[in-house]
Amino acid sequence: MTWLLDPLVHGWNALLEYLSAHVLTCLIPAFFIAGAIAVFVSKDAVMKYFGPKANRLLSYGVASVSGTLLAVCSCTVLPLFTGIYKRGAGLGPAIAFLFSGPAINLLAIVYSARLLGLDIGIARAVGAISFSLVVGLLMAMIFRREEQARQIQAPALTLSDKSEKKPPVLLAYFATLVGILVFGAAARWWETGVFTAGLVIVVGRWFSWAEVKEWLIATWDFSKQIAPWLLGGVFIAGMIRAYMPQNWIISTVGDNSLISNLTASVVGAFFYFATLTEVPIVKSFMDLGMDKGPVLALLLAGPALSLPNMLVIRSVLGTRKTVAYVALVIGLATLAGMFFGSL
């Protein structure tokens, strides 16, 4: 019977460790922030930066950070990318967005910082934003002649039916939410209390009950969607930690060499990781001896790419551009990993 119980025990242990109260106190505020973004950030306001006539610099800048603002649900990334490419600002900003969407996943970054270490969390965030920019710019440069020749179709329609909340109110609102997240994570309860009071005041004064309900429903829907994947990922991580031969890990990605980082980047690029699952899985690799450099490489190349994903991108961009994109991501992830691992 142990052959059946053993995996369950390992999975359970992983659950206790990778989803400890310590971790949940970080994830839960992050879910609320994700819900808030989904409900209150005006997509139309952001999309203005992606029109065919928009200032290119702004398009790039916004594209490289807006992933998490526009595509809280991961399946919206590809249609949005296609729209920006074909009916909007063109290849560069579209690629920047394509990468940043899955890469700058707020929940994943918070979870990474908590479970894998603050240094890795920060490196991941910085890497994701800078990669979006760099890969977008490089793609635009490499294919500039084709881009000039290509005709951009008429801009897409946006149906705006939401009354928008005033920017200062939104800013205060998000500031209190982020404050709760950050100070709660650092276990500084006095400050957390202050920010919570701030949130209550802002919401009480400037948000209608209907809006609060919308926010809570979005947060709950989001949690319902993500939770099963998260549990699944943690379970798999437990299996990996228990059953994967340690010397495999150490011999392939156990140091900060070029080969180790490259291996991690390639594995990250081709394998599919459901949202958030890359974090506990990488943690189990780390426990088995994976070096910090390859860890970052995998975290940067992993979320944005997978083989199925590449095939869809290929149907939009064509083989050459897709190969260029994948090669750039793998190359940059390898370099970033090596750099980070040497710090």
Partner 1 sequence: MKIEILGMGCPKCQKTEQLVKKALEELNLQAEIVKVTDPNEIAKRGVFFTPGVVVDGQVKSSGKVPSIGDLKKMLFQ
Binding site for partner 1 (CB under 8 A): 43, 47, 70, 73-76, 78-87, 154, 156-159, 225, 312, 315-316
H or E segment at 141?
helix 118-142
3-state DSSP assignment of residue 118 = helix
Distance of CA 180 to CAs 26, 44, 175, 187, 227, Å? Answer: 9, 28, 9, 10, 21
Taking the least distance from each CB to partner 1, the nearer of 83 and 303 is: 83
> Token digits for 274?
């459901």
CB of 152 to partner 1, least distance (A): 11
Q: Which is nearer to partner 1, 46 or 182 (CB)?
A: 46
- Based on CB atoms, which residue is closest to partner 1, 19 or 80? 80
Shortest spacing between CB 153 and partner 1, in angstroms? 8
Contact 143, 94 (CB under 8 A): no
Whichever of 14 and 84 has its CB closer to partner 1, that residue is 84
Shortest Cβ 45–partner 1 spacing (Å) = 13
Nearest approach in angstroms of CB 62 to partner 1 is 14
C-alpha–C-alpha distance, residues 84 and 90, integer Å: 6
Question: Which lies closer to partner 1 via its Cβ, residue 6 or residue 221?
Answer: 221
As measured in angstroms, the least distance from the Cβ of 11 to partner 1 is 25
Q: Please tell me the distance from the alpha carbon of residue 106 to that of residue 21, in angstroms, as a whole number.
A: 19
Query: What's the first-to-final CA gap in the chain, in angstroms?
Result: 47
Minimum Å distance from CB 41 to partner 1? Answer: 12
The secondary structure of residue 159, as a DSSP letter, is -
CA-CA distance, 38 to 340, in Å (whole number)? 32
Rounded least distance, CB 104 to partner 1, Å: 18
Q: Using the Cα atoms of residue 143, residue 146, residue 147 and residue 148 in order, give the sign of their dihedral.
A: positive
CA-CA distance, 260 to 191, in Å (whole number)? Answer: 42
Nearer to partner 1, 310 or 312 (CB): 312
User: Nearer Cβ to partner 1, position 80 or 304?
Assistant: 80
- Find all residues with CB under 8 Å of 220, minimum gap 6, and list them: 35
* Burial (0-12, 13-18, 19+ Cβ within 10 Å), 54: middle
CB of 227 to partner 1, least distance (A): 13
CB-nearer residue toward partner 1: 67 or 341: 67
